[in-house]
Amino acid sequence: MREFDLEVDSVRDLNAALHALTEEDRDRDFLVCHPNGRHSVAVGAMLEADIRIEGHVGYYCAGMNQRARVQVRGNVGPGVAENMMSGMVQVTGNASQYAGASGRGGLLVIEGDASSRCGISMKGVNIVVRGSVGHMSAFMAQAGALVVCGDAGQHLGDSIYEARLYVRGTVRSLGADCVEKDMTDEHVKELSGLLLAAGIEADAREFRRYGSARRLYNFNIDHVDEY
């Protein structure tokens, strides 16, 4: 295991070591100590690796992740797993705003709560939140799934495209063009798989599904107030 103490080593050193990994490297386990809220920790990992971060981090942790498994044992600042492509990012604490923004693939798991705009403009990433999410979550979400085991704030799914939203608790309000949809066997199966992958024990049939009413795909004067 490679150890980086961010009270001694720089974030640049850590990220450079991740970027320098090759397919031939056998040692791909990283332990990161004393992050103390530093920004851009473990950004741009390209290959399979296990990265454990012991403590709280700042913004953009694990951004642009590909194939790596990143665990943050603490809270994270804005933009965790921003634009992640694949792999898995797990946060044992809470996440600040726009977690998983523009993510294209992989799985983001937040054990606590997530703040506003969780999953904004998601493009294929799957996000599972054990707690609740703030306002404007899944704004302009295009593909993938957002699972919320707690409650959702105002304007959930505003201007949503084809992402799938599953919420077990209450929804403060739905955003423009977002509506409740039927929870079919297909969706129960998908949600059960996501909960299992996230390590969360919950009955998928207790959730409600939300998605696009598809009224904003083309301009219609009858819906002008929603644009």
Summarised one tens digit per residue, pLDDT across range 137-170 is 999 999 999 999 999 999 999 999 999 999 999 9
Smallest CA-to-CA distance from 83 within 117, 116, 125 is with: 125
pTM, two decimals, is: 0.95
Q: What is the pLDDT of residues 72-118, one digit of tens each?
A: 999 999 999 999 999 999 999 999 999 999 999 999 999 999 999 99
3-state secondary structure 134-194: CCCCCCCCCEEEEEECCCECCCECCCCCCCEEEECCCECCECCCEEEECCCHHHHHHHHHH
For residue 222, the 8-state DSSP code is G
Average per-residue pLDDT for the chain? 95
| Whole-angstrom distance, CA of residue 180 vs CA of residue 209 | 6
| Whole-angstrom distance, CA of residue 40 vs CA of residue 43 | 6
Task: Tell me the two tokens of residue 48.
Answer: 């399979």
| Whole-angstrom distance, CA of residue 137 vs CA of residue 174 | 10
**Domains of the chain from N-terminus onward:** 2-216 (2.160.20.60)
| Whole-angstrom distance, CA of residue 19 vs CA of residue 154 | 39
**Spatial contact of 89 and 70, defined as CB atoms under 8 Å apart:** yes
Predicted confidence at residue 215, as pLDDT, reads 85
Residue 216 binned pLDDT confidence (cut-offs 50, 70, 90)? confident
| Whole-angstrom distance, CA of residue 129 vs CA of residue 94 | 9
For residue 152, give Cα distances in angstroms to 52, 120, 148: 29, 14, 7
In percent, the amount of the chain with pLDDT more than 90 equals 92
Give residue 61's identity as a one-letter amino acid code.
Answer: C
